[in-house]
Chains A and B, each alone.
Chain A
Amino acid sequence: MNVEPNTKPVSRATPQRGHDQECWELRLYTAGQTPKSMAAFSNLKRICEEHLPGRYKIEVIDLTQNPRLAKEDQIVAIPTLVRKLPDPLRRIIGDLSDTERTLVGLQLRQRD
């Protein structure tokens, strides 16, 4: 279920430094089309649309198709979301139904 990344051009009058202007690269690891994976993907999409409109890429990797990547990318829990960019690398596991924690995990919000 590879989803074409959303690559809307960034439209800002005054470019700023920091997270706000960078393009986010996110990778979602799943294992087949399980309800958890589906939920994770739709939750992720919703959050991105809301907080990173037009500057995010989501790559979905089905590990049942390519289990070797689980070893290479150190994946244990499914689903796992990895923020590849911006640095540093962040990992979030679960179906992303807890929006608060997802935002904290993605560092889109400060931990309370």
Chain B
Amino acid sequence: MAMLTAVPTATDTPVTLPKTPTGITGLDEITLGGLPQGRPTLVCGSAGCGKTLLAMEFLIRGATEFGEPGAYITFEETEQELAQNVRSLGFDVEQLVSEKKLAFDYIHVERREIEETGDYDLEGLFLRLGLAIDSVGAKRVVLDTLEALFSGFSNMALLRSELRRLFGWLKQRGVTAVITAERGDGSLTRQGLEEYVSDCVILLDHRVKEQVSTRRVRIVKYRGTSHGTNEYPFLIDADGISVLPITSVGLKHKVSSARVSSGVARLDAMLGGQGYYRGSSILVSGTAGSGKTSLAAHFADASCKRGERCLYLSFEESPDQIARNMRTIGIDLDPYLASGLLRVEASRPGLYGMEMHLAQIHRTVGDFKPHSIVIDPISNFSNAGTNIDAESMLLRLIDFLKTSCITAMYVNLTSGGKDRETTEVGVSSIIDTWIVLRDIELGGERNRGLYIIKSRGMKHSNQIREFLITSNGIRLEDVYVGPEGVLTGSLRAAQEEREREAGVRERQELERRQRELQGRRASLEAQITALQQECKALEDEASAIVAQGAAQQRALAEQRSKAAQRRGVDRNEV
């Protein structure tokens, strides 16, 4: 975990020692500015660890980028061999030599040609060194590797005193020198050169762990200045050496509160209605076949739809395969691939070491400048190295992408039987939004479910959604949660059907009851009318009777008066 600690930044300590920048990516950062100016630096390491290349790049960059000519004194390879070796890295040594920016001298020391017959010194070496320096006005010198002298001469005492004189002489000439040396058993160099070079010692290492090789560099000592003390991975690729200090040392990156769509409307709704934060890191984990890549493709598609570049790093499928598969779910990535908005980089994780992957990603990102990135899947990285390596690499990657404000989606395959809420590589804690896809086995079916474990800085849904992959992309459905438990898939559909039927029946029943009530009401109203009519009839009858009574009385009175008239009673009798 050495790499997780921070590199001290240049602002932490005032630079007191004048330094010569190497121009090698990352090396100037960990040395806080470069190698000690006008002094020798020892670069040691075992065979094949990159000493010669580092030395060569130091000179070439000095000559091309800093206007400092260099002299290369080689004891092992001829000038032609060296030039050939670095030509693959795009350095044209012959050109620099003809422009008098570089001088070479191949010092060939072979013991069997040499008979020692008394006192001697190495003045010839000094003369040649001086010649090489003077021929181009060199400010930088490489001696690669002085130890060849030890196999050429047998008088050790003399050799050592000459070496001491050599380093003094180099300092006096004021050249910034790089001296390479083989790593020895239990000591930094086989011949103890570290005794003479005391200002700066850089150790290169090339380790193979579980069949994957990683190169590392460490500043063993740097007198008079602070420096990064850890082992930093470095790699050699088409552009030379890149040392990888951690990109973001503190958690100081700026954050954006802008939001970007996940490409799935319903998922955006679950994420506070707006989707992911721009520049956040999103982890999508799930078992095999749970739809992770489809979700990632939606994300990539949404990015391209906004006209933003998206980088898709695939460690399982080829670009063509991804495009074909996504077409079947209604995501057409081809136009974006053609227009260059989408770039798919496919490689096998075991192809090279972790550091190489990281550096490649760095390089591609620097080159392509994507707005969003998909890494599918990150779990495969543990194949390329140990888990610790993978974890530290991912941490650095996540940091790097966050610092660059690139929205990053990391796809993680959870192997069956394991706890779904763990990642193979323990990065979940630094992820901003974590979406888990899981399969739900129920009723003889395997269905997909999606839920959000966390999403920093936004209100997010706590519900499980059923996750359907249709020919029109991903659709999220509510799962059935009822007295029957959580149901998905056809069980959910059946349950919903049952509920629908039940609903119809219920409605019919209601209507029937309504009609019944209406009928009853109608009949009651009819009864009321009948009674009212009856009542009216009675009233009529009563008034008829009264009228009849009155008429009879009148008739009677009339008859009586008529009878009285007839009888002739006087009026008073009436």
Contact = CB atoms under 8 A, between A and B. Distances in A.
A39 B153 CA distance: 20
Given A39-B119, A96-B117, 7 more contacts: A70-B127, A74-B108, A76-B125, A76-B149, A77-B114, A80-B120, A98-B116
A63 interface: yes
A19 interface: no
A15 to B, nearest CB: 29
Contacts of A95: 117-120
A94 interface: yes
Contacts of B107: 74, 76
Interface string A80-99: 11000000011111111110
A36 to B, nearest CB: 5
A38 to B, nearest CB: 12
Contacts of B149: 76
Interface of chain B, helix or strand or loop or mixed?
mixed
A75 B124 contact: yes
A29 interface: yes
Contact of A79 (B108, B120, B131): B120
B245 to A, nearest CB: 39
Contacts of A77: 114, 120-124, 153
B120 A67 contact: no
Contacts of B131: 67-68, 70-71
B119 A36 contact: yes
Nearest to B113: A91
Contacts of B123: 31, 63, 77-78
B127 A31 contact: yes
A78 B114 CA distance: 12
B130 A67 contact: yes
B112 to A, nearest CB: 10
Interface of A: 29, 31, 36, 39-40, 43, 63-64, 67-68, 70-71, 74-81, 89-98, 101-102, 104-105
B307 interface: no
Contacts, number: 97
B127 to A, nearest CB: 4
The 5 tightest CB contacts between A and B, nearest first, are A105-B115, A94-B118, A97-B118, A78-B123, A95-B118
A97 B125 CA distance: 22
Contacts of A102: 115, 117
A68 B124 CA distance: 10
Given A64-B127, A74-B107, A74-B108, A36 B113 contact: no
B152 interface: yes
B87 interface: no
Given A74-B108, A78-B123, A91-B113, A98 B118 contact: yes
Contacts of A93: 114-117, 120, 153
Given A76-B107, A76-B109, A70 B117 contact: no
Contact of B118 (A31, A67, A96): A96
Contacts of A67: 127-128, 130-131
A40 to B, nearest CB: 8
10 contacts: A63-B127, A70-B128, A74-B108, A77-B123, A78-B123, A89-B113, A94-B118, A101-B118, A105-B115, A105-B117
A76 B122 contact: yes
B123 to A, nearest CB: 4
Nearest to A89: B113
Nearest to A36: B119
A79 B119 CA distance: 8
Interface string B441-485: 000000000000000000000000000000000000000000000
A97 B119 contact: yes
Contacts of A70: 124, 127-128, 131
Contacts of B117: 81, 92-98, 101-102, 105
Interface in B117-161: 117-125, 127-128, 130-131, 149, 152-153
A76 B127 CA distance: 9
Given A63-B127, A67-B127, A90 B113 contact: yes
A40 B117 CA distance: 10
Contacts of B124: 29, 31, 63, 70, 75-78, 80
B76 to A, nearest CB: 14
Contact of A36 (B116, B120, B152): B120
Contacts of B345: none
Interface string B95-108: 00000000001011
B299 to A, nearest CB: 62
Contact of B128 (A43, A71, A79, A89): A71
A98 B114 CA distance: 14
A42 B130 CA distance: 29
Nearest to A35: B119
